[in-house]
């Protein structure tokens, strides 16, 4: 009797240790191929049982199996010893509603830092039996089909045709299953597992070959509602492409019979080539780099009808990382991302950083990296030609007409602030929530092209006025421009260039309020020269402003 009591004590102790190990262990970044987990059913009635089975890397370490209930409590935990690389356990589901609440249960199998996760549901017996689909990530069930013999019932695929447990979840990442016809799928149960750990987004990890070959990703359309309700975004990653979709990017679909299909394709297909060529027929200033991304999203109903989603409710963020060969053949100074549809071409907001283009997509279509070469005849051989061509390619400056930039013409205060704010919007670190209110100016007319840039710049402390007026049509002086640029430089993370301090012969003519900014602009490399004259009250030219803005963009921290 004492011996039996002692054995029970040991078992309780071991169970407690196992619980503690799971509660305080970190989540593995991915499931190793040597550790797999299969379930004999996707749905189990109360009073039935479910078989957990899989493979392990060796027989030397026990596989710790834990089941978490819908109430996030530990429903079952045990250490299973593998035999010839395989393990299994049969788990009974109580009849008692308190002990076995209805809902989705998460099964976690772990060896050391490796984990695999699957899910099943406990039902009240009203579910319709079907075929099992809860395999090792390849869509093949490892458990027996049909009734398990103890009240367990294999579950059908969801009405969308995608099994609830398709794919594998590890933390907030999902690795979809590949179907026999080359599609990648994940189910609602797998998504729920990842959502339970997600704070802002769930990542779908596809092989690089998926985007390179245009393979489809499919999942139940009801997932859009789950993501929206929890304010969680969806990140799809495949090779050099990542697509970040914010919560609510598309309308939530309540019909459980529909599914979503998303296709990323970086292949320069004949259709892509033709679309780009047709779009550029009337744009000799643009040339194709050969880099393209097609994004297609479709809602597919149970009867096979397809509705293409073109315009997004909220813009997506796309990052396209260039290969070494692409970086060598493309001029980063002249390249940008453009939307092309076979008839029109439109520049897309984005930025180049560390070999990648990151841009905002308001709709799904073809996106191509094109090079823009301005045709300003008055910039040929000019000392500021490089800076002007760079800013023109980024669509930050325009000419007075298609052939002329007029580099020596002075710039107004309104024009200057507009250009500075364009530069910040393009590549600066502008606060997500800029100050709501800044100084208002009596001479800035609502609706003027410079009204909003001036209001934003004033709210951010980049510019100020003169006794309640801004004087937007006055020519901006060199010292005024430098003060604003130094304030704007705070949003680019510039580092000092090691130029020391300037020794201008006319430094005594620099206004007291501008002296410090002039020294700082010199130190940051925004202004250069031989240090003889600064000419603080002289109007600054369009060429000089272009060079200073280009230096600020080139010196930003990445």
Q: Give the number of other CB atoms < 10 A from CB of residue 204.
A: 25
326 and 463 both lie in a single domain: no
Start-to-end CA distance of the chain, whole Å, equals 71
316 and 186 both lie in a single domain: no
244 and 266 both lie in a single domain: no
Strands 49-55 and 103-111: unpaired
CA distances from residue 81 to 57, 87, 133, 453 in whole angstroms, order as listed: 12, 7, 25, 68
| Residue at 12 is within a domain | no
Alpha-carbon distance of 521 to 404, in angstroms, equals 29
Which DSSP state fits 156?
A: P
Enclosing domain of residue 336: 261-371
436 and 493 both lie in a single domain: yes
Q: Give the number of other CB atoms < 10 A from CB of residue 363.
A: 14
Contact indicator for 110, 27 with CB cutoff of 8 Å = no
- Phi, psi dihedrals of residue 548, rounded to the nearest 5°: -65, -40
Last residue within a domain, chosen from 259, 287, 314: 259
| Residue at 1 is within a domain | no
What pLDDT does 528 receive? 79
Alpha-carbon distance of 298 to 307, in angstroms, equals 6
Q: Which residues of 411-426 are buried (b: 16+ CB within 10 A; e: fewer)?
A: bbbbbbbbbbbbbbeb
449 and 400 both lie in a single domain: yes
| Residue at 304 is within a domain | yes
Q: Give the number of other CB atoms < 10 A from CB of residue 388.
A: 24
Residue (of 151, 206, 145, 148) closest to 173 by Cα position: 206
Domain count, the chain: 3
Residue (of 479, 410, 483, 423) closest to 456 by Cα position: 423
Last residue within a domain, chosen from 225, 259, 293: 259
208 and 318 both lie in a single domain: no
246 and 293 both lie in a single domain: no
| Residue at 205 is within a domain | yes
What pLDDT does 445 receive? 92
253 and 345 both lie in a single domain: no
| Residue at 533 is within a domain | yes
Chunked mean pLDDT (size 10), the chain, 558 residues: 44 46 40 72 86 86 87 84 88 85 87 84 56 36 32 43 89 93 92 92 95 94 89 95 93 72 94 94 94 93 84 94 93 93 91 88 93 93 94 92 93 96 83 65 92 91 90 95 94 76 89 93 83 89 95 72
Helix, strand, or coil (residue 74): strand
Last residue within a domain, chosen from 356, 371, 386: 371
504 and 362 both lie in a single domain: no
365 and 392 both lie in a single domain: no
What pLDDT does 40 receive? 87
| Residue at 56 is within a domain | yes
SS3 content of the chain, % helix, strand, coil (to 5): 25, 30, 45
411 and 491 both lie in a single domain: yes
Q: Which CATH number goes with the domain that contains 88?
A: 2.60.40.1930
Contacts of 23 (CB under 8 A, 6+ apart): none
Alpha-carbon distance of 141 to 488, in angstroms, equals 60
Residue (of 159, 365, 156, 161) closest to 272 by Cα position: 365
Contacts of 226 (CB under 8 A, 6+ apart): 188, 191, 192, 195
Alpha-carbon distance of 136 to 121, in angstroms, equals 17
| Residue at 20 is within a domain | no
| Residue at 124 is within a domain | yes
Alpha-carbon distance of 291 to 258, in angstroms, equals 33
**Whether the model pTM is above 0.85:** no
40 and 166 both lie in a single domain: yes
């Amino acid at each position: 009797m004492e011996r039996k009591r002692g054995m029970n004590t040991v078992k309780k102790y071991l169970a407690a240790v196992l619980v503690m190990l799971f509660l305080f262990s970190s989540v593995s970044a991915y499931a190793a191929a040597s550790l797999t987990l299969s379930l004999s059913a996707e749905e189990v009635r109360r009073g039935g049982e479910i078989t957990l089975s899989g493979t392990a890397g060796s027989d030397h370490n026990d596989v710790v199996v834990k089941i978490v209930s819908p109430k996030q409590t530990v429903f079952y935990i045990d250490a299973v010893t593998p035999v010839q690389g395989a393990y299994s356990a049969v788990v009974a589901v109580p009849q008692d509603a308190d002990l076995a609440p209805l809902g989705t249960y998460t099964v976690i199998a772990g060896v050391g830092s490796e984990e695999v996760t699957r899910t099943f549901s406990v039902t009240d017996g009203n579910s319709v039996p079907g075929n099992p689909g809860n395999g090792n990530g390849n869509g093949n069930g490892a458990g027996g089909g049909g009734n398990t013999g103890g009240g367990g019932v294999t579950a059908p695929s969801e009405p969308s045709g995608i099994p609830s447990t398709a794919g594998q979840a590890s933390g907030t990442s999902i690795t979809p299953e590949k179907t026999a016809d080359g599609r990648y799928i994940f189910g609602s149960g797998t998504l729920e597992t990842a959502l339970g750990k997600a704070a802002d987004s769930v990542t779908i990890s596809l092989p690089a070959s998926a985007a390179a070959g245009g393979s489809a990703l499919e999942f139940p359309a009801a997932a859009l509602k789950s993501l929206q309700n929890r304010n969680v975004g969806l990140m799809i990653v495949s090779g050099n492409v990542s697509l970040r979709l914010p919560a609510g990017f598309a309308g939530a679909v309540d019909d459980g019979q529909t599914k979503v299909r998303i296709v990323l394709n970086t292949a320069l297909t004949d259709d892509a080539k033709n679309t780009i060529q047709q779009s550029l027929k009337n744009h000799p200033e643009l040339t194709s780099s050969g880099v393209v991304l097609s994004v297609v999203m479709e809602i597919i109903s149970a009867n096979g009808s397809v509705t293409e989603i073109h315009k997004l409710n909220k813009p997506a963020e796309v990052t396209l990382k260039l290969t070494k060969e692409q970086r060598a053949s493309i001029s980063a100074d002249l390249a940008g991302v453009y939307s092309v549809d076979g008839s029109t071409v439109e520049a897309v907001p984005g930025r180049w950083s560390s070999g990648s283009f990151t841009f905002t997509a308001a709709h799904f279509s073809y996106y191509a990296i094109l090079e823009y070469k301005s045709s300003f005849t008055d910039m040929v051989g000019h000392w500021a030609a490089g800076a002007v061509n760079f800013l023109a390619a980024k669509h930050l400056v325009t000419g007075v007409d298609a052939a002329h930039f007029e580099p020596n013409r002075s710039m107004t205060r309104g024009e200057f602030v507009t250009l500075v704010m364009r530069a910040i919007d393009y590549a600066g670190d502008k606060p997500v929530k800029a100050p709501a209110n800044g100084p208002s100016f009596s001479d800035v007319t609502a609706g003027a092209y410079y009204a909003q840039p001036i209001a934003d710049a004033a709210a951010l402390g980049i510019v100020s006025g003169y006794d309640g007026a801004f004087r937007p049509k006055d020519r901006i002086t060199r010292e005024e421009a430098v003060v604003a640029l130094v304030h704007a430089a705070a949003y680019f993370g510039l580092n000092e260039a090691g130029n020391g301090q300037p020794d201008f012969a006319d430094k005594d003519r620099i206004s007291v309020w501008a002296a410090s900014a002039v020294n700082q602009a010199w130190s940051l490399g925004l202004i250069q020269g031989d240090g003889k004259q600064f000419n603080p009250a002289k109007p600054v030219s369009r060429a000089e402003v272009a060079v200073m803005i280009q230096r600020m963009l080139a010196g930003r921290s990445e």
